[in-house]
Structure 1
Amino acid sequence: MPYFQSGTEPDQKIFYIDRGEGKEVLFLIHGWYQNARDCFSYYIDTFQHSGRVVAVDLPGHGSSFKHKSGEYSLISAYRACEELLTRVAKDASHITIVGHSMGSFIGVKLALLHANLVTNLILISPILDFGPYEKRLKRMMRIPKFMHPAYLRWQSFRDGFPFGDRKYIYAQEKGHKIPGKNEYYRIKTTNHPTFIARQYARSFPKSTVMNLIQNVGQPVLILYGSEDRLTPPEPGTAIVNMLPRGLLRIIDRGGHNVQLTRKEETIQLIEEFLEEHKRKRWSWRRLFGRKS
């Protein structure tokens, strides 16, 4: 399994999945309390046949490092993605970043700070401003450390923040068994331990890229599920209007994990978006006599 060393500490190893071949790369970034496999396994399997797919486990998630002396925050997650992006870019001609939820926040920063490396940007159920979640985050952080596991177990029973609704994650109508409440708690806290979740939560308040979004010059596709209760689709129109080259699509009956519960619709929209902008690149090259 591929890992790379993040930062200068010897035990800060970041796990990532690297499948397929070619110069066209899909770079996948999952959200809080998930990992690359849970969030994107279907997309890795689908797109590896037409190009290269790279999906990272953020620090403190999945198979990446989880030791108690590590740094776990939006900044450390961004740095890990930045390091991997620069590695991948050495053998890539075009990179499309796909960010889900918190991963969208990181994706926007990468597109802004590494515009020369990022060709397209796809944001799924994006969290671009943590302001709307500040009350819930503060409530979560007020819970004493020793009570935090009990609080999170209660939230998992209620399908509450930060876990979300199980039925919108596991998509029973697609043949996936929805886990019981105890199993749901175990899955989430094994993937992302409680002491790490607290560190991430401390880094969220006041974090925003909304004031920078208009500076993203790449083509951007924004996808929401119509039933998303964590990131409702209503702000989508205002966000896409700030983007020079933005496109908004709302997928019917999808929740926050619309990429899981409405896989086929999401795949189709991504494929259409990528194909359209590939055609535009080819037209531009032919017009000016450039080589691909």
Structure 2
Amino acid sequence: METIVLGNRTLAFRSYGRHVAPERPPLVLVHGAGGNHLIWPPQVRRLPRTAVYALDLPGHGASPPPSCATISAYSEVIRDFADALELPYFVLAGHSMGGAIALDFALAYGYRLAGIVVIGAGARMKVSPIFLNGVVENFMHVTAKIVEYSYHPSTPAQEKERYLQRLRETDPEILQKDFLAVEAFDVTDRLESISVPTLILCGQEDRMTPPSLSQLLHRCIPNSQLHVIPNAGHNVMIEQPELVAAYIDEFITQLST
């Protein structure tokens, strides 16, 4: 993986398609709580005609700790990352906690964005007390439950096991810290202030962040479009990678014309 130093942090990331189609804004991918860049399937990471940057947030994957305590602090990391890579104008896509980061970034640094993609997220996402309070003491049980709630029932067991193993590579205290950041996040009253084009995607069977949360985003964000994807749960981009990649590609094409 590539690394970049941001002040006192080192951030690991993968880049794809640099220097292709300069008329299209680059895409920055941000994973969710306890995740890393591999949550994004190859269809999204290698989006045609688009420069794509998939990063590991601080304390996740190959990026060393400490992690961040708030969604806004993670947004500042994304800002510094974009500055260091000289990305003055880009599309920010986030899944789950990453979606919260995208919303927060649009409110704080909207002038830097061509648009945002919010996947399986909401303006406010209450974390189950089972996850929030039990993740450190009962890490194995809680991570198994997270996987159970993250997928459509038809998802192959092999994919669920792969996600479980990646999730268990995360320090339990970092995962809890992420959950606390998500629990404290609430921009419900500020959604109408988001002025950048917004693509909202969610799985029809999402039990972690139900479609009602995405529908609220669509109602309140002025320049937004929503796609509820069938036969998919919370990890919709893994369950329906071709469809998610097609929606993102179409969105970036719209922004480029």
Q: TM-score, normalised by structure 1?
A: 0.77
Cα distance in 2 for partners of 1:103, 1:169 equals 24
Tell me if the contact between 2:30 and 2:98 (Cα under 8 Å) persists in the aligned partners: yes
Alpha-carbon distance change, 169 to 61 in structure 1, aligned in 2, over 3 angstroms: farther
Q: Which residue of 2 aligns with 1:152?
A: 139
Equivalent position of 2:120 in the other structure = 125
1:85 aligns with 2:82: yes
Are 1:4 and 2:1 matched, yes or no? no
Shift of the alpha carbon at 1:244? 1.4
Counterparts of 2:26 and 2:246 in 1: how far apart (Å)? Answer: 17
Matches of residues 47-126 of structure 1 in structure 2 within 5 Å? Answer: 47=47, 49-66=48-65, 70-74=66-70, 75-88=72-85, 90-91=86-87, 94-126=89-121
TM-score of the superposed pair, with normalisation by structure 2: 0.86
**Contact kept in structure 1, 2:122 and 2:213, CA below 8 Å:** no
Structure 2 unaligned regions, length at least 5: none
Q: Write out per-residue CA displacement over residues 121-162 of structure 1, whole angstroms, 9 at most, x where no aligned residue.
A: 1111113313x32xx24x4454495xx1xx1212344xx24x
Question: Which residue of 2 is the match for residue 201 of structure 1?
Answer: 179
Aligned-residue Cα RMSD (Å) equals 2.6
Moved more, 218-227 or 232-241: 232-241
Asked which structure has the greater RCO (Cα within 8 Å, sep 6+), the reply is: 2
- Partner letter of residue 126 of structure 1? A
1:216 to 194, 200, 219: 194
Point out where structure 1 has 5 or more consecutive residues left out of the alignment: 280-292
**Match for residue 239 of structure 1 among 207, 210, 217:** 217
If you compute each CA radius of gyration, which structure gives the higher value, 1 or 2? 1
For residue 177 of structure 1, the aligned residue among 155, 158, 162 is 158
> What is the DSSP-based 3-state SS (H/G/I as helix, E as strand, rest coil) of the residue aligned with 2:227?
strand
Q: CA deviation at 1:198?
A: 2.5
1:205 Cα deviation from its structure 2 partner: 3.0
Distance change (3 Å), C-alpha of 1:20 and 1:194: same
Taking every aligned residue pair, what percent have the same amino acid on both sides?
20
Equivalences, count: 252
1-structure distance, mates of 2:30, 2:153: 17
Report 1:130-145 matches (<5 A): 130=125, 132-133=126-127, 136-137=128-129, 139-143=130-134
Give the counterpart letter for 2:18 in structure 1.
E
Partner of 2:168: 189
Q: CA deviation at 1:73?
A: 2.1
Task: State the alpha-carbon separation in 2 of the partners of residues 104 and 202 from structure 1.
Answer: 15
Partner of 1:225: 203
Kindly indicate whether the alpha-carbon contact (under 8 Å) linking 2:150 and 2:207 is maintained by their aligned counterparts in 1.
no
Which residue pairs with 1:259 in the alignment? 237
Structure 2 Cα separation of the partners of residues 60 and 179 of structure 1: 23
Could you give the per-residue CA deviations for residues 42-71 of structure 1, whole angstroms, max 9, x where no partner exists?
Answer: 3112x1x412111110111111103xxx24
How far did residue 238 of structure 1 move? Answer: 2.6
Deviation by residue 1:263-282 (Cα, 9 ceiling, x = unmatched) = 11112222222222322xxx
Distance 1:210 1:189 in 2: 31
**CA offsets 1:69-107 (integer angstroms, 9 cap, x no match):** x2432344222212112233x355x41111111101111
Structure-2 separation of matches of 1:105 and 1:222: 12
Matched, 1:278 2:252: no
